[in-house]
Amino acid sequence: VNGSGERVVSARAVVKQAPMAFVFTGQGSAAVGMGMDRYQESSVARDIWNRGDTHLRKTFGFSILDMVRKNPKSITVHFGGKKGLEIRENYMRLTCEDPVTGEITALLPEIDEDTESYGFSASGGLLFATQFSQPALVLLENAMFSEIEASQLILDDAYFAGHSLGEYAGLISFAGALTVEALMDLVFLRGMIMQKSVKRDVEGRSNYGMVATNPTRVGPDFTEEVMYKIVDGIEAASGKLLQVVNFNIQQRQYVVAGENVNLETLSLALTAFKALKSTAAEDVEK
């Protein structure tokens, strides 16, 4: 454009985009209402959510959209009528392998031909119960990716990675390894097996949990080796489970799993070490 505002020359350039990578997260990132803004505004995202919701309603008798929007503390799946009988059969077909004997057993032996209904409950809301948070999270991630892909913003040579549950979202999004419906079956079963792996009370609570620890927040000399000694010491002294199970970021984030009483003891111990002025290694030996 010259001084008179007239266009005197035009050009077009093709610019190579920078390398692109997508990381699909695992559990722990669920939130009430997640993805519902895009559900309202994007037909692509809405289609993914609706496919997953329709399949879970038809197959297992619950709405994953209701879980995300309302986070109910309990629901009851009724097995009346033809559709109810089909849903009950689907629950009865869920099986798992006994890790000790290798025997294939019913995942929900309490459901049989005479069962009229089955209930789910969780004191913090069912969205945060693993069998429901897993389908919700992979739907969210696949819906977000599909919307970006529909806008032709994904490079052909883009990289992807998934953390734990996120591996499934990455495989369906990038590789098309599963349909949305097959993914729902897979991660719901995965979540049910995880949920049933320990005893729970009527509100879905167990004696076990997980916490993330950051050694750098305890002190500059508080290394991962020192943390291991503390975890091992608590487990040995109590005779109850406490182990480091995820090594996410060296020296910055480790996930510790075990009985709740040991997790509370670990929290108190780390708080105490932070307040001490001698070196962490010396304190552990003491």
What is the C-alpha to C-alpha distance for residues 129 and 112, in angstroms, rounded to an integer? 23
**Angle value at C-alpha 176, between 89 and 62, nearest 5 degrees:** 30
Which two tokens mark 93? 């077909």
Is the pTM value of this prediction over 0.85? no
Give CA separation, 194 vs 66, 83, 132, in Å: 22, 27, 11
Helices (H), the chain: 36-41, 43-60, 64-70, 81-92, 130-150, 166-170, 180-195, 215-218, 224-238, 260-275, 280-285
Ranges of residues in the chain whose predicted pLDDT is under 50: none
Give CA separation, 195 vs 23, 190, 283, in Å: 25, 9, 38
DSSP 8-state code for residue 19: P
Give CA separation, 129 vs 19, 31, 163, 228, in Å: 36, 12, 19, 29
What is the C-alpha to C-alpha distance for residues 190 and 192, in angstroms, rounded to an integer? 6
pLDDT confidence of residue 222: 86
Handedness of CA 106, 110, 114, 120 (dihedral sign): negative
Helix (H) / strand (E) containing 75: strand 74-78
Q: Check: CB of residue 95 under 8 Å from CB of residue 104.
A: yes
- Domains present along the chain, CATH in parentheses: 21-195 (3.40.366.10), 209-285 (3.30.70.3330)
DSSP 8-state code for residue 175: I
> How confident is the model over 96-153, as pLDDT tens digits?
998 778 899 999 999 999 999 999 999 899 999 999 999 999 999 999 999 999 999 8
Q: Check: CB of residue 125 under 8 Å from CB of residue 32.
A: yes
3-state secondary structure of 6: coil
3-state secondary structure of 143: helix
> How confident is the model over 13-37, as pLDDT tens digits?
877 788 999 999 998 889 999 999 9
Which two tokens mark 136? 């919700």
pLDDT confidence of residue 115: 98
Pairing of strands 21-24, 159-162: parallel
